């Protein structure tokens, strides 16, 4: 089973090496690693190319794009793996065995997707957990409570993207939530929760960088819930935001 991992980059030289090494050092070897760069102006491309010279499984595209979701869509279009996942340039896989455990889950059961837990960590000291997103097994009613899996931990069969399309570029921050609603509300699909930390994410992402972005995120979440016909979308988004509070209070690893 080939697994495609996609990383979108733009002027990411400060954090990209840790990100790439976390993928390249996985014990699971059948990984296609796709880097979609937005025509970076710093040392990002030099770093990518230096890694690509040593690792033949790296595919590199560098050209202007319309933002992160456009870049991820380009990566999805290029992916040839059976399963597709993302590791954003500020993030890194939590353990060298993570992809092997994900692959084993897909091999042992008939699944459409696998997801797990996420640690938000300090930008300059990634050993310090800021927020601990512990997920749970999926059942459809969770969507009406504002639940979603941590998107950076979500690995999906390529067929899911063929069936449901890619990220909607009308959303600047919440295209992942919109996509998850499109997929997870289809009850015929099978998803498995792995009770382990899959990804570590540095704080300071697009959705939580400022109050303005938090407002934009909430507005887009509401629109996504409405467009996907989730009942009582205002209540859903309120629940979604409130559900994050325990993640800040209980930061110990699972």
Domain with 16, as residue range(s), is 3-249
CB 26 within 8 A of CB 55: no
Domain presence at residue 254 = no
Domain presence at residue 69 = yes
| pLDDT at position 247 over 70 | no
Q: 110: buried, middle or exposed (CB in 10 Å: 19+, 13-18, 0-12)?
A: exposed
37 pLDDT band, cuts 50/70/90, is: very high
pLDDT of residue 227: 93
Give the pLDDT confidence of 182-222 residue by residue, as tens digits: 999 988 899 999 999 999 999 875 444 556 777 888 899 99
Domain presence at residue 189 = yes
Torsion of CA 16, 115, 29, 27, to 10 degrees: 80
pLDDT of residue 207: 46
The whole-number average pLDDT for the span 83-106 is: 98
Q: Would you give the distance in Å from CA 219 to the centre of its chain?
A: 20
pLDDT of residue 56: 96
Give the pLDDT confidence of 108-154 residue by residue, as tens digits: 999 999 999 999 999 999 999 999 999 999 999 999 999 999 999 99
- Other C-beta atoms closer than 10 Å to the C-beta of 57 total 16
pLDDT of residue 81: 98
Cα within 13 Å of Cα(243), Cβ side:
19
Structurally, the chain folds into a number of domains equal to: 1
193: domain CATH number?
A: 3.90.550.10
All residues at 6 or more sequence positions from 207 whose CB lies less than 8 Å from its CB, including other chains: 173, 174, 213, 214, 217
CA of 240: how far to CAs of 84, 173, 211, in Å? Answer: 26, 15, 17
CB 44 within 8 A of CB 16: yes
Express as a percent the part of the chain with pLDDT over 70: 93
């Amino acid at each position: 089973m080939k697994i495609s991992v996609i990383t979108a980059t733009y002027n990411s030289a400060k954090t990209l090496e840790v990100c790439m090494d976390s993928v390249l050092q996985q014990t699971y070897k059948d990984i296609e690693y796709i880097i979609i760069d937005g025509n970076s102006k710093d040392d990002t491309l030099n770093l990518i190319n230096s890694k690509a010279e040593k690792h033949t499984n790296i595919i590199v595209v560098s050209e202007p794009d319309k933002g992160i979701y456009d870049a991820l869509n380009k990566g999805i279009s290029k992916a040839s793996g059976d399963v597709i996942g993302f590791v954003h340039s500020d993030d890194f896989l939590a353990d060298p065995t993570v992809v092997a455990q994900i692959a084993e889950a897909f091999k042992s059961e008939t699944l459409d997707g696998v997801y797990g837990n996420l640690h938000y960590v300090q930008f300059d000291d990634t050993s310090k957990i800021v927020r601990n997103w512990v997920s749970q097994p999926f059942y459809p009613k969770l969507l009406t409570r504002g639940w979603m899996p941590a998107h950076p931990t979500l690995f999906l069969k390529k067929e899911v993207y063929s069936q449901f399309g890619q990220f909607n570029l009308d959303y600047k921050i919440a295209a992942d939530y919109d996509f998850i609603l499109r997929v997870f509300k289809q009850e015929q699909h099978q998803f498995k929760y792995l009770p382990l930390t899959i990804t570590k994410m540095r704080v300071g992402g697009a959705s939580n960088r400022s109050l303005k972005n938090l407002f934009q995120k909430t507005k887009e979440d509401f629109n996504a819930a409405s467009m996907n016909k989730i009942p009582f979308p205002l209540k859903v988004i309120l629940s979604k935001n409130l559900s994050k509070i325990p993640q800040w209070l209980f930061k110990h690893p699972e």
